């Protein structure tokens, strides 16, 4: 168990540099298997999901070299093998091996993916997409065996714009004959990052970042290079921290268009910030207004920032309301926040009320999931006194070099195993 200890209520100044996006990197790394040669991925974040992905890549006979923030991958001699449960359950993104191995080998055997416990999280849209392209899917206990003698491109309509399913079906479509069209595709920036890597390899893809994506299959894919986009959720988390404790805190490496929904919301509640190129400068706001937030698929307010912003809204003057439309079990963090003095009420699986302002007090809490853990971290930074956050390994899954980044700007933070 990993414990983070924070002595809170310290002003934060200096500069935080944003790392590469977790949710892009976890798709880009396994995707190197689609290239019949060498690939380089720059700006890879230092997070545990990447370490587990590298273990799976090595199991499949890929050569992976890690130098600074770059991964050099040679998948010339890649071999198809079943992916064991002890590796696949370490993260949600192991599901990308389904589309990738299906496209390259016509067969994949893998256990059900892991990831944070924030709702039911089925993968039926992925499976339906593979089946529509001609794959046969067999589920034995929690093992998926997906096979296809031949994949054939087709028009697929998603009932929901799932990020994972959009990327996974794009991968499978790379191995299909003819053109695949995904209607009601997710539009998150990570999908654009993935499509760019595929296009750099030689794929023909149109429309990534819109609701309709077209993929021409069976293009030969070769050597390629890509840079992981900066992490919009990490950016948002540090911006929220800056709104609570910043003294001209600089967040470097942001892409404004990726975090617009958060920036507009922060302006609305009275936070001041300035953007110059890729750097946002922010200072604490002493009189925050309450607000209403509804999480939505991109470009709406991201569900992954819902829990972090809840910690900030405990400091707003009045009642804030959150409507979580993506997941049905994403308020578990508020039980821990209340132990620190927050006044939040779960009204239903999808609705949360936050009353403020309250004086948060350092205490012992337990991280329930990655972004829920981030909300406790923010609350502990705001709180008077000392907080211990147990199960902090969840938080480290999404925030590379977290402790150093916060120490460097003045936080009193330590980590113990």
- Distance from C-alpha of 267 to C-alpha of 284, rounded to nearest angstrom: 13
162 lies in the site for ligand UD1, by CB under 6 A: yes
Q: Which of 120, 149, 276, 286 binds ligand UD1 (CB under 6 A)?
A: 120
303 lies in the site for ligand UD1, by CB under 6 A: yes
Among 382, 363, 395, 400, which Cα is nearest to 5's? 363
| Residue with Cβ nearer ligand UD1 (116 or 378) | 116
Joined together, the tokens standing for residue 407 give 């120490």
Is residue 382 within 8 A of residue 244, CB to CB? The reply is: yes
Cα 96–Cα 100–Cα 101 angle in degrees, nearest 5: 115
Is residue 365 within 8 A of residue 336, CB to CB? The reply is: yes
Tell me the window of 123-131, 221-229, 355-363, 373-381 that interacts with ligand UD1 (CB under 6 A).
123-131
Instruction: Output the smallest distance, CB 317 to ligand UD1, in A.
Output: 29
Longest dimension (CA), the chain: 63
- Distance from C-alpha of 96 to C-alpha of 170, rounded to nearest angstrom: 10
- Distance from C-alpha of 331 to C-alpha of 309, rounded to nearest angstrom: 12
| Residue with Cβ nearer ligand UD1 (102 or 249) | 102
State the first-to-last Cα distance of the chain, in angstroms, to the nearest integer.
6
Question: H-helix or E-strand containing 352?
Answer: strand 351-356
Cis peptide before 357 (omega within 30 of 0): yes
> Annotated catalytic, 116?
yes
126 lies in the site for ligand UD1, by CB under 6 A: yes
93 lies in the site for ligand UD1, by CB under 6 A: yes
Tell me the CB-side half-sphere exposure of residue 382, using CA atoms within 13 A.
Answer: 32
Q: How many residues of this chain interact with ligand UD1, rule: CB under 6 A?
A: 22
| Residue with Cβ nearer ligand UD1 (168 or 281) | 168
| Residue with Cβ nearer ligand UD1 (125 or 316) | 125
Q: Which of 112, 301, 327, 399 binds ligand UD1 (CB under 6 A)?
A: 327
122 lies in the site for ligand UD1, by CB under 6 A: yes
Q: Where are the alpha helices (DSSP H) in 246-367?
A: 260-268, 306-313, 333-339
Identified catalytic residue from 62, 116, 219, 285: 116
| Residue with Cβ nearer ligand UD1 (118 or 382) | 118
Q: Which of 173, 244, 326, 411 binds ligand UD1 (CB under 6 A)?
A: 326
Q: Which of 165, 182, 244, 367 binds ligand UD1 (CB under 6 A)?
A: 165
Question: What is the three-class DSSP state of 61?
Answer: coil
62 lies in the site for ligand UD1, by CB under 6 A: no
Tell me the window of 120-128, 222-230, 252-260, 380-388 that interacts with ligand UD1 (CB under 6 A).
120-128
Joined together, the tokens standing for residue 387 give 């907080």
Instruction: Output the smallest distance, CB 144 to ligand UD1, in A.
Output: 12
Question: What is the three-class DSSP state of 108?
Answer: strand
Query: x/- site string to ligand UD1, residues 261 to 300, per CB under 6 A?
Result: ----------------------------------------
Residue 206 neighbours by CB distance under 10 Å: 14
258 lies in the site for ligand UD1, by CB under 6 A: no
- Distance from C-alpha of 315 to C-alpha of 375, rounded to nearest angstrom: 13
123 lies in the site for ligand UD1, by CB under 6 A: yes
- Distance from C-alpha of 155 to C-alpha of 172, rounded to nearest angstrom: 13
Instruction: Output the smallest distance, CB 302 to ligand UD1, in A.
Output: 6
Instruction: Output the smallest distance, CB 246 to ligand UD1, in A.
Output: 25
Instruction: Output the smallest distance, CB 25 to ligand UD1, in A.
Output: 10
- Distance from C-alpha of 187 to C-alpha of 190, rounded to nearest angstrom: 8
Tell me the window of 3-11, 40-48, 101-109, 160-168 that interacts with ligand UD1 (CB under 6 A).
160-168
98 lies in the site for ligand UD1, by CB under 6 A: no
35 lies in the site for ligand UD1, by CB under 6 A: no
Joined together, the tokens standing for residue 167 give 């990327």
Give the active site residues: 116
Q: Which residues bind ligand UD1 (CB under 6 A)?
A: 23, 26, 92-93, 119-126, 160, 162-165, 186, 303-304, 326-327
């Amino acid at each position: 168990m990993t414990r983070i200890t924070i002595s809170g209520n310290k002003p934060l100044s200096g500069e935080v540099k944003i790392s590469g996006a977790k949710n892009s990197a976890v798709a880009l790394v396994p995707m190197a298997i689609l290239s019949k040669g060498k690939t380089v991925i720059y700006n890879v974040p230092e997070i545990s999901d990447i370490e587990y992905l590298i273990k799976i890549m090595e199991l499949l006979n890929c050569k992976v070299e890690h130098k600074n923030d770059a991964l050099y991958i040679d998948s010339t001699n890649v071999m198809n093998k079943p992916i064991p449960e002890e590796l696949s359950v370490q993260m949600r993104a192991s599901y990308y091996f389904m589309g990738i191995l299906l496209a390259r080998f016509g067969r994949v055997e893998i256990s059900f993916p892991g990831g944070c416990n924030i709702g039911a999280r089925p993968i039926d849209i992925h499976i339906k997409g593979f089946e529509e392209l001609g794959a046969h899917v067999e589920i034995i206990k929690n093992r998926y065996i997906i096979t296809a003698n031949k994949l054939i491109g087709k028009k697929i309509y998603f009932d929901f714009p799932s990020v994972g399913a959009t990327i996974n079906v794009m991968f499978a479509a790379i191995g299909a004959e003819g053109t695949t069209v995904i209607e009601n595709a997710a539009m998150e920036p990570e999908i654009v990052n993935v499509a760019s890597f595929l296009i750099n390899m030689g794929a023909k893809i149109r429309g990534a970042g819109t609701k309709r994506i077209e993929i021409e299959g069976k293009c030969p894919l070769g050597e390629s290079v890509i840079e992981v986009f900066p992490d919009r959720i990490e950016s948002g988390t540090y911006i929220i921290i800056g709104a609570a404790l910043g003294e001209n805190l600089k967040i470097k490496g942001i892409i404004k268009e990726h975090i617009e929904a958060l920036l507009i919301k922060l302006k609305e509640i009275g936070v001041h910030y300035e953007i110059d190129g890729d750097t946002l400068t922010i200072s604490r706001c002493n009189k925050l207004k309450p607000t209403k937030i509804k999480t939505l698929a991109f470009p709406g307010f991201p569900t992954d920032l819902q829990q972090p912003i809840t910690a900030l809204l405990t400091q707003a003057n009045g009642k804030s309301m959150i409507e979580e439309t993506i997941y049905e079990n994403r308020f578990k963090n508020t039980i821990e926040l209340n132990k620190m003095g927050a006044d939040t009420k779960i009204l239903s699986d999808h609705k949360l009320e936050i009353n403020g302002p309250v004086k948060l007090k350092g205490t012992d809490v337990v991280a329930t999931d990655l972004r829920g853990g981030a909300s406790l971290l923010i609350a502990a930074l705001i709180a008077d006194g000392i907080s211990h956050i147990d199960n902090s390994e969840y938080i480290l899954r999404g925030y590379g070099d977290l402790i150093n980044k916060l120490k460097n700007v003045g936080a009193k933070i330590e980590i113990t195993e």
